């Protein structure tokens, strides 16, 4: 960059967090110290503003609690007692232990567990793919987040980028469906506000009055997990009341009749009984949505976290085609624009995956680590990076019991001593974003951003990329993939010949810090105005058979893994599937626990990141639970009481907030807090349970029933 002075240098940064916004940043460095991190004001989507989590990102880098050296466990698992060792010793130990495990049980007894703590192409969830594919370990399937949503989208509209978030300014009707945009996608919010200023109506569909719902023109609050009934009743109303865009449906969609038949059961009155939303409101929503064009829907992950979540999102995905919203700039639907041309062939080397290599769903870690579950071979070693499973995975007490197994060799690469790292045999210190090179692709907008190493890595920290190159060298893997430098591989990490990047280059990334993928500008882009859906038929498919035999999940290596994935067959037509055990809607009771727990994201944390940092905890506040006044009354709970939230799986304490933001029968406790800092040692996922394969392997975090009492 050209703004360097004698005392200060600047570098391009890109926020690595697992967030749709993918902010472009500027790192300012003085005397090899990162003194300031600001937003890159040239970036059209993020516009130079950083969120509450990273607007003082340099403090994160210099947090005195950072891990700086490799550590070996010296006390019992979980005790947090470790001794400092050298890298050579740490890597030697991995080679020796894995050698013995492979000799006795085979390489599939090793499970790589990488996730999205870092979204970089080199350092992200795929950082270990090439190494582990070569090693022949089990493959970790990653379905924590948006797996149902992406699969639903794939089946219905195909892997389309969808509506440009910047085009939202042209919309006349915006539905934020199971998305808490103000907290979790905050750079979309200015575009929503601008549309609203121009006369658009902003509707939020969310079982609780989130920050976003509180700012909407209209908040509709369905019972948790009932969105399919709502969407199908909208479809039904749109068909019955003659609001269908016939011409669009005839030309650009398939299987309208099947959709009509499936939706026929869901009159507004019937859906009202299921969702708790007034029938008249459902009809009004359908009418306004269909007739206020352009209308656009932003789908979050809230609706997918239930047994019927995947099908609910399929029904939602049918709506824009039905009413012809895709015809218009700013109309349509934005879900996960993740389909940018990454060179997974180079980065992940899928051809090294054995034809029979087993795929294990990481969301089912609790059962995976349980020796009684009968995996053959059982998992004898877990290698974790970019993830904090004790916080993120259902049934954390059972995960903890697994991590306590003496015969399990656990290695964790981390920046901090997380709840998970405390159970490791070896803890390896990882760099932070200002300390390594990478490229970040977003899952909420259409830009790719460069992240330059701005400062030297502190202590003995190394990047995930270096970690796997070092491991490959230790294991004697001689492929050139493992000797390329980060910069060399980075240049090749995107398919510059693909239409989406034609005319763009890595040099442009180095000059500007970011590039927009090749789609028309926001003021003209209407991707499906004339169909052109990237489905097998080229049409939007209301009744897709893609998942009907074995179900499927959409990871980048889908083709390689098809048939080995852990998901249930998917009914071609979207329908409504009730919450667990088909409970009836009037008696929300499961195993005697009457309150349904919704655990969405915390405003000031990024999943569990920052929940150990005092200044972010001050901004976020202590773990709380929102409860309706009527439910609080019957439990003798008042505002500010410390409550015990529990069920048969676990417990945690929370500050009671008595509020009409939640309906009777549901409670909200946001996710991300570290159980180790809780009086009862738990957090939201101590109470959630493993939901099995289901639709695209998505965990049903919110299909959780609890009781609350004064602590
Ligand atoms: N501040 C902050 N931002 C983040 C994150 C963070 O931890 N903190 N995490 C990042 C990640 S990994 C992700 S995936 C995104 C997720 O961002 P969002 O998609 O916004 O996800 P959540 O906050 O989990 O849930 C969104 C909303 O869905 C609602 N919801 C729950 N159940 C239902 C239901 O049955 N139906 C409907 N319609 N809504 C329901 C919740 O109450 C919540 O308000 O955010 C990213 N951004
Ligand atoms: N109850 C409930 N459970 C949920 C959710 C929910 O809403 N409710 N949300 C789900 C969703 S959407 C998601 S995405 C998952 C998130 O689950 P995770 O991705 O496991 O989330 P984090 O807690 O952010 O853990 C990431 C870890 O990676 C570390 N890290 C960051 N950068 C690097 C790096 O460069 N190298 C290394 N080695 N480590 C790094 C961080 O310090 C952090 O501890 O949780 C899921 N679980
Ligand atoms: Mo996520």
pLDDT in tens, 348-374: 999 999 999 999 999 999 999 999 989
* Separation between Cα atoms, residue 284 and residue 286, nearest integer Å: 5
* Ligand 3 center to 72 CA (angstroms): 30
The atom number, within ligand 1, closest to the CA of 672 reads: 7
Question: ∠317-320-324 over CA atoms, to 5°?
Answer: 150
Pocket test for ligand 1, best of 184, 214, 305 (most atoms within 8 A of CB): 184
* Separation between Cα atoms, residue 205 and residue 177, nearest integer Å: 5
The atom number, within ligand 1, closest to the CA of 602 reads: 8
Q: What is the pLDDT of residue 561?
A: 83
Mean pLDDT to the nearest integer, 56-83: 97
The atom number, within ligand 2, closest to the CA of 436 reads: 35
* Ligand 1 center to 181 CA (angstroms): 8
Q: What is the pLDDT of residue 338?
A: 85
Alpha helices by DSSP H, listed for 439-543, are: 464-474, 486-492, 506-512
Name residues whose C-beta falls within 8 Å of residue 166's C-beta, 6 or more positions apart in sequence.
Answer: 44, 45, 191, 445, 522
* Separation between Cα atoms, residue 415 and residue 431, nearest integer Å: 7
Strands (E), 40-117: 71-73, 82-84, 110-114
Do 300 and 180 meet the contact criterion of CB atoms below 8 Å apart?
yes
Pocket test for ligand 2, best of 13, 150, 390, 392 (most atoms within 8 A of CB): 392
Q: Token pair 């003659």 is at which residue?
A: 242
Protein residue with least CA distance to atom 29, ligand 2: 386
* Ligand 3 center to 117 CA (angstroms): 10
Q: Give every strand in the sheet of 33-39, ordered side by side.
A: 8-14, 24-30, 33-39
Predicted confidence band at 585 (pLDDT cuts at 50, 70, 90)? very low
Q: Is the dihedral of CA 359, 364, 365, 369 positive or negative?
A: negative
Mean pLDDT to the nearest integer, 589-595: 74
Which helix (H) or strand (E) segment is 140 a member of? strand 139-141
Protein residue with least CA distance to atom 23, ligand 2: 608
Predicted confidence band at 666 (pLDDT cuts at 50, 70, 90)? very high
Q: Is the dihedral of CA 360, 363, 365, 366 positive or negative?
A: negative
* Ligand 3 center to 148 CA (angstroms): 12
The pair of structure tokens assigned to 292 is 């206020």
The pair of structure tokens assigned to 355 is 């034809």
Q: Who lines ligand 1 at CB under 6 A? A: 18-19, 145, 177-180, 183-184, 205-208, 210, 222, 224-225, 227, 300-303, 306, 598, 600-603, 605-607, 672, 702
User: What secondary structure letter does DSSP report for 178?
Assistant: S
Smallest CA-to-CA distance from 633 within 689, 552, 708 is with 708
pLDDT in tens, 549-580: 888 888 777 777 878 888 899 999 999 999 87
Pairing of strands 540-541, 82-84: unpaired
* Separation between Cα atoms, residue 17 and residue 19, nearest integer Å: 5
Protein residue with least CA distance to atom 7, ligand 2: 600
* Ligand 3 center to 146 CA (angstroms): 7
Pairing of strands 705-710, 642-646: antiparallel
Q: Who lines ligand 2 at CB under 6 A? A: 18, 115-118, 123, 144-145, 301, 385-388, 391-392, 413-416, 418, 430, 464, 599-601, 606-609, 671, 684-685, 688, 701
Beta bridge partners of 441: 448
Q: What is the C-alpha radius of gyration for the chain, rounded to an integer number of angstroms?
A: 25
For residue 4, pLDDT over 80 is answered with: no
* Ligand 2 center to 14 CA (angstroms): 18
Nearest ligand to the C-alpha of residue 610?
Answer: 2
- 294 preceded by cis ω (within 30°)? yes
Q: What is the pLDDT of residue 207?
A: 97
Give the chain's length: 711
User: What secondary structure letter does DSSP report for 629?
Assistant: H
Do 393 and 366 meet the contact criterion of CB atoms below 8 Å apart?
yes
Mean pLDDT to the nearest integer, 200-208: 98
The atom number, within ligand 2, closest to the CA of 685 reads: 1
* Ligand 3 center to 144 CA (angstroms): 7
Phi/psi zone of residue 317: left (φ > 0), alpha (ψ -120 to 50 degrees), beta?
alpha
Predicted confidence band at 3 (pLDDT cuts at 50, 70, 90)? low
The atom number, within ligand 2, closest to the CA of 146 reads: 12
Q: Give every strand in the sheet of 381-385, ordered side by side.
A: 82-84, 71-73, 426-429, 409-414, 381-385, 110-114
Q: Is the pTM of this model over 0.75?
A: yes
Mean pLDDT to the nearest integer, 203-227: 98
Q: What is the pLDDT of residue 584?
A: 41
The atom number, within ligand 2, closest to the CA of 672 reads: 23
Mean pLDDT to the nearest integer, 188-206: 98
Looking at every residue in the chain, the average pLDDT score rounds to 95
Predicted confidence band at 1 (pLDDT cuts at 50, 70, 90)? low
């Amino acid at each position: 960059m050209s703004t360097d002075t004698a005392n200060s240098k600047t570098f391009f940064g890109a926020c690595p967090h697992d967030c749709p916004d993918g902010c472009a940043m500027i790192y300012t460095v003085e005397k090899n110290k990162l003194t300031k991190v600001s937003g890159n004001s040239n970036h059209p989507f993020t516009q130079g503003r950083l969120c509450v989590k990273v607007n003082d990102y340099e403090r994160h880098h210099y947090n005195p609690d950072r891990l700086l050296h490799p550590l070996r466990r010296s006390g019992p698992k979980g005790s947090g007692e470790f001794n400092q060792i050298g890298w050579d010793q740490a890597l030697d130990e991995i080679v020796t232990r894995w050698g013995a495990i492979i000799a006795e049980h085979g390489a599939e007894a090793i499970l790589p567990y990488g996730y999205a703590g870092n979204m970089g192409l080199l350092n992200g969830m795929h950082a270990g793919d090439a190494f582990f594919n070569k090693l022949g370990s089990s493959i970790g399937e990653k379905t924590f987040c948006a797996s149902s949503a992406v699969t639903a989208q794939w089946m219905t509209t195909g892997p389309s980028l969808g509506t440009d978030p910047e085009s939202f300014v042209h919309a006349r009707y915006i539905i934020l469906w199971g998305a808490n945009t103000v907290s979790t996608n905050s750079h979309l919010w200015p575009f929503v506000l601008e549309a609203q200023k121009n006369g658009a109506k902003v509707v939020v569909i969310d079982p609780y009055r989130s920050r976003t719902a509180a700012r909407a023109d209209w908040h509709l609050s369905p019972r948790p997990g009932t969105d399919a009934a709502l969407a199908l009743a909208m479809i039904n109303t749109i068909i019955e009341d003659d609001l269908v865009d016939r011409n669009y449906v005839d030309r650009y969609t398939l299987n309208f009749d099947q959709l009509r038949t499936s939706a026929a059961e869901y009159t507004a009155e019937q859906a009202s009984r299921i969702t708790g939303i007034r029938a008249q409101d459902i009809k009004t929503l359908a009418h306004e949505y269909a007739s206020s064009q352009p209308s656009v829907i932003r789908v979050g992950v809230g609706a997918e976290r239930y047994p019927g979540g995947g099908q609910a999102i399929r029904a939602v995905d049918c709506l824009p085609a039905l009413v012809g919203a895709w015809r218009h700039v700013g109309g349509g639907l934005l879900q996960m624009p993740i389909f940018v041309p990454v060179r997974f062939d180079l980065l992940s080397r899928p051809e090294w995956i054995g034809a029979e290599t087993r795929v294990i769903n990481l969301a089912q870690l609790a059962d995976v680590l349980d020796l009684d579950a009968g995996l053959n071979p059982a998992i004898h070693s877990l290698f974790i990076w970019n993830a904090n499973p004790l916080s993120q995975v259902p049934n954390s007490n059972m995960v903890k019991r697994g991590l306590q197994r003496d015969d399990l060799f656990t290695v964790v690469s981390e920046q901090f001593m997380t709840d998970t790292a405390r159970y490791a045999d070896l803890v390896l210190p990882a760099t932070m974003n200002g300390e390594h090179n990478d490229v970040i692709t977003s899952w909420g907008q259409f830009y790719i951003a460069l992240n330059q190493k701005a400062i030297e890595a502190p202590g003995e920290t190394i990047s995930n990329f270096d970690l796997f190159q070092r491991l490959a060298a230790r294991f004697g893997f001689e492929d050139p993939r493992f000797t390329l430098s980060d910069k060399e591989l980075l240049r090749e990490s995107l398919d510059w010949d693909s239409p989406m990047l034609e005319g763009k280059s890595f040099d442009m990334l180095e000059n500007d810090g970011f590039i927009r993928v090749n789609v028309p500008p926001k003021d003209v882009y209407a991707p499906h105005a004339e169909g052109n859906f990237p489905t097998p038929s080229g049409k939007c498919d209301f009744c897709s058979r893609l998942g009907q035999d074995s179900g499927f999940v959409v990871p980048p290596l889908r083709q390689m893994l098809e048939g080995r994935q852990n998901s249930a067959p998917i009914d071609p037509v979207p329908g409504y599937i009730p919450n667990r055990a088909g409970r009836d809607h009037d008696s929300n009771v499961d195993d005697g626990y009457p309150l349904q727990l919704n655990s969405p994201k915390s405003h000031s944390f990024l999943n569990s990141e920052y929940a150990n940092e005092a200044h972010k905890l001050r901004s976020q506040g202590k773990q709380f639970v929102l409860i309706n006044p009527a439910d609080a009354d019957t439990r003798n709970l008042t505002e500010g009481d410390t409550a015990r939230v529990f069920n048969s799986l676990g417990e945690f304490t929370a500050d009671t907030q008595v509020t009409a933001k939640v309906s009777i029968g549901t409670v909200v406790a946001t996710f991300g807090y570290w159980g180790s800092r809780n009086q009862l040692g738990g957090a939201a996922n101590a109470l959630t349970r493993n939901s099995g394969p289901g639709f695209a392997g998505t965990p049903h975090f919110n299909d959780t029933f609890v009781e609350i009492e004064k602590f």
